[in-house]
Structure 1
């Protein structure tokens, strides 16, 4: 039962219609850290967006087991793969219902048409729905799926077949990722007829465990438990409320007062006090994540009329060796971080332990800058994230420390920040200089790091460095196109050495993930992919 202290907040948000007794044990409040940019998972790449859509409203053909990286059946009950590894036949689950809301009432159950609509919209820029609501699908294109899916066919109402141009060793895992959430073709048709195609991003309809009810930007999102869910034991909460709370200290205070039962991203200084609170539990696990600095390597930064110094390899090498990583780990992560060397975490198979950091050497950095013709006092922008993430608990402090490190070698870093959605949008557009960003793995495959973040396919997506280097790109494409893990490992190891030599980024840290929650919460599992899922979760009195 929530304490009385929560009542004014919830009433103000329009969440309670009657008395304090209305907040029963089947209600859960999650203190999230930011507002989603929208509710159409295919458009986005961040956990904030996925938590509010893919993890609540939607399902996918395949899915990851809760708290793990193994793939299990989702909306597909089984699948077959051809001997050449290019043809995938999926058998769809029968009896699955789409959500009924005040804005949509389905006339049929989930079938093959919904799978075709979901992927055809992402594949085809001339798709009628995409023309009515033009948007991009960064994950889909970052992984080259727009080019690799040669054909998608409906064999019957409950069977679909994907034919690929070339082998994709991670195809089944990719289909379990948030961006591949299955949309309703019938709902899309309704929106087209109404001239409201953009509503697919504001009023979502899925088959998932929770039904979207209400969204108030920067305040709250409300979902109702799906009473018709195809896996009824997963729905143990009547009302799921996201209380959007950007300030970490405020989130922790709300948790302590039982104004929310689950939250995320505690400040390092709060970890020990939270562990000692008898009303709370604090599960943790090593982070499958990476916090890093991305350097925009374009000759000219978008919106600037001067050459970009970061386009010069020697400048990037200089900035990289001027970063005092141990000091950042101590001050920013406060014991909850591990120094990063590579472009992915050491828990990822194919991680190459022979790759080493350049030593911290401000004097050598000065020399490299001089050789590159960079004058002392040259200014660059350093973008700092406005939100906390598992891979970076305090981007503002990290930016200030980098600013001081780089000042010692004659580079003046101007710290810039924007609201999270704007931050990502502008960075993808190429407006960024050096940028603090990071990644939590999505599917357990090396390509999710080396391809999604640094491939030529990802230039308009998560490749914030805008780095397209053919020798590297050829290696990761070869690795993705073979199912031989030993061969893939060999290729990925070579790719990791190239990243280190070309310095499109400076890896900083991998952090331990802590998930503070009330002891009333049962069944919550930390996701290795830094997502927050509430299916299978209950709240006791």
Structure 2
């Protein structure tokens, strides 16, 4: 199967041939890699999504950002920007761009120049300016940036010259630089966008991507595979893999079978129950990475009875987190008591843990007017994520717990892209989902998940808009003083514990399984995976 995926004939002109337009077959098979992923991407533009499945497949493979994040320290590093500075009032930033960065050369686009300031202004003005010709192309949906309210934050993005860009903000925002380093802030080609506009095909910008990353887009067959070739002029240096294929396999058991029969080189998200099996084999191994993430159970707080805080607290008391950690995470996770993981500098260490107390849950339900319980849905993700390796199993455990307090829970699931779309339309009663940090700033756990702007953009799965909470997290952004920011975030965590729009369940490690012949596949603690340094030994 690896040979089949890596050596399919590719059209060159009007004739199907095996050479001249791709590497020769032996080299392609030996130096190509097949990554078994759990689902199809929703888009090929990271600005348009928040799904980890999509981000893993596209962001660090096809694109670069102005800034990167040091995986060890969380500090910001130069990427497409080599330098940056800030005005005294904290509202203006200047970035100097890296010279001689080449965009992808493909069958559908031949760049006439290298990266310059026009590409940066195009990338971000598209998001923030409603009058931009590309703002509504494919739908005016930029969930991460909308969740952190960039529309009101960024007043202007200006090209001062070909290699200098100025961002003008309406207010200081201590998370601004960190957000530029997320996988969502990928830099696009303004030249390619202009070509598509002239062809009256602007929607293709997000479907046939052009970036500056280590691989370029070749082919996509929905629910089957994505094919990339290496970018020969990548600014960071030579990419070892000649070809990268994402084999799209939603079923976890099938992904694991493909790894063990050498049909895949790397598989995403092996279930924790399978880690021991993998460890016993000489030909495959497990990679792990401490990751800032949280798995949680969110209530649709705009739907009765979940608009009642007593009901939400009752449901929180009803679930046995210890049993969930044993049966779902197999001990490879820490019990969560707040959204922030313990490794965050803003984590509230003294916050009391939510206890398992069915009697207390029944009392609260009676106080809320539901002495005999009620019926509800629990939506369970159909895919495995690092923060929840088996949402269906978790839902079954919770279903049994809730039955003990008179609540009848039905479990609901759909195909992954349909699941996410319906979530964004708030059709759910409650959902088992989660979040993996995109940068080291605590704000990354609060605004994208629970702010009023996130409720508007659809990424706030609790559909919760509380002005008191918004005030706390917004005040934390107006100062660069860590002690002051931490104080606001501690208060915010206490407030969440009182209001309970969601129940934080676990913080897990991230795992992937791979052939021992594969090295250099980077699992980042912030954001998606990178194949730029991957190589395959013979």
Instruction: Give the TM-score taking structure 2 as reference length.
Output: 0.94
Taking a change above 3 Å as real, the CA distance of residues 148 and 159 of structure 1, as seen in their structure-2 partners, is: same
- Conserved? CA contact 2:65–2:186, under 8 Å: yes
Distance 1:49 1:9 in 2: 20
Taking a change above 3 Å as real, the CA distance of residues 170 and 132 of structure 1, as seen in their structure-2 partners, is: closer
Alignment partner, residue 252 of structure 2: 248
- Give unpaired runs (5+ residues) of structure 1: 301-307
Alignment partner, residue 305 of structure 1: none
| 1:524 CA drift (Å) | 2.5
Alignment partner, residue 102 of structure 1: 107
Alignment partner, residue 449 of structure 1: 445
Alignment partner, residue 341 of structure 2: 345
| 1:401 CA drift (Å) | 1.0
Distance 2:6 2:522 in 1: 26
Please tell me whether residue 62 in structure 1 is matched to residue 67 in structure 2.
Answer: yes
- Conserved? CA contact 1:321–1:358, under 8 Å: yes
| 1:258 CA drift (Å) | 2.2
- Conserved? CA contact 1:66–1:525, under 8 Å: no
Alignment partner, residue 26 of structure 1: 31
Distance 1:192 1:375 in 2: 60
Alignment partner, residue 293 of structure 1: 297
- Conserved? CA contact 2:9–2:18, under 8 Å: no
| 1:265 CA drift (Å) | 0.9
Alignment partner, residue 88 of structure 2: 83
Distance 2:308 2:495 in 1: 16
Alignment partner, residue 499 of structure 2: 502
Please tell me whether residue 204 in structure 1 is matched to residue 201 in structure 2.
Answer: no
Distance 1:237 1:94 in 2: 25
Please tell me whether residue 36 in structure 1 is matched to residue 36 in structure 2.
Answer: no
Taking a change above 3 Å as real, the CA distance of residues 462 and 132 of structure 1, as seen in their structure-2 partners, is: closer
Distance 2:6 2:32 in 1: 12
Distance 2:331 2:18 in 1: 45
Please tell me whether residue 118 in structure 1 is matched to residue 115 in structure 2.
Answer: no
Q: Secondary structure at the match of 1:310?
A: coil
Distance 2:120 2:289 in 1: 35
- Conserved? CA contact 2:3–2:29, under 8 Å: no
Alignment partner, residue 279 of structure 1: 283
RMSD value, Cα: 1.9
Q: Secondary structure at the match of 2:194?
A: helix
Alignment partner, residue 425 of structure 2: 429
Alignment partner, residue 303 of structure 1: none
Alignment partner, residue 367 of structure 1: 363
Taking a change above 3 Å as real, the CA distance of residues 326 and 60 of structure 1, as seen in their structure-2 partners, is: same
Render the CA deviation track for 1:280-330: whole Å, top value 9, x for unaligned: 2323233321100001100x4xxxxxxx21111111011000001111111
Please tell me whether residue 189 in structure 1 is matched to residue 197 in structure 2.
Answer: no
1:228 to 223, 226, 233: 233
- Conserved? CA contact 2:340–2:346, under 8 Å: no
Taking a change above 3 Å as real, the CA distance of residues 471 and 275 of structure 1, as seen in their structure-2 partners, is: same
Taking a change above 3 Å as real, the CA distance of residues 66 and 345 of structure 1, as seen in their structure-2 partners, is: closer
1:328 to 324, 331, 347: 324
Render the CA deviation track for 1:356-387: whole Å, top value 9, x for unaligned: 23321112211211221125352111100010
| 1:98 CA drift (Å) | 1.3
- Conserved? CA contact 2:71–2:526, under 8 Å: no
Please tell me whether residue 142 in structure 1 is matched to residue 138 in structure 2.
Answer: no
Render the CA deviation track for 1:425-475: whole Å, top value 9, x for unaligned: 211221111110101111011000022211112112321101111221111
- Give unpaired runs (5+ residues) of structure 2: 12-16
How many residues are treated as equivalent by the alignment?
A: 528
Spell out the pairing of 1:523-538 with structure 2 (5 A cutoff): 523-529=520-526, 531-538=528-535
Q: Secondary structure at the match of 1:183?
A: coil
Alignment partner, residue 374 of structure 2: 378
Q: Secondary structure at the match of 1:270?
A: helix
Taking a change above 3 Å as real, the CA distance of residues 26 and 449 of structure 1, as seen in their structure-2 partners, is: same
Render the CA deviation track for 1:139-181: whole Å, top value 9, x for unaligned: 1111122211122111001101011121111211110111111
Q: Secondary structure at the match of 1:452?
A: helix
Render the CA deviation track for 1:222-254: whole Å, top value 9, x for unaligned: 000000111114x11110111111122222222
Spell out the pairing of 1:213-224 with structure 2 (5 A cutoff): 213-224=218-229
Render the CA deviation track for 1:165-222: whole Å, top value 9, x for unaligned: 2111121111011111111111111111212111112100111110000011111100
| 1:137 CA drift (Å) | 0.6
| 1:86 CA drift (Å) | 1.7
The farther-off stretch of 349-358 and 439-448 is: 349-358
Alignment partner, residue 175 of structure 1: 180
Q: Secondary structure at the match of 1:515?
A: strand
Render the CA deviation track for 1:56-103: whole Å, top value 9, x for unaligned: 111111122467633211111111112222211001111112111111
Instruction: Give the TM-score taking structure 1 as reference length.
Output: 0.94
- Conserved? CA contact 1:68–1:527, under 8 Å: no
Please tell me whether residue 317 in structure 1 is matched to residue 313 in structure 2.
Answer: yes
Alignment partner, residue 511 of structure 1: 508
Taking a change above 3 Å as real, the CA distance of residues 13 and 480 of structure 1, as seen in their structure-2 partners, is: farther
Alignment partner, residue 268 of structure 2: 264
Taking a change above 3 Å as real, the CA distance of residues 522 and 66 of structure 1, as seen in their structure-2 partners, is: farther
- Conserved? CA contact 1:522–1:537, under 8 Å: yes
Moved over 6 A (4+): 11-16
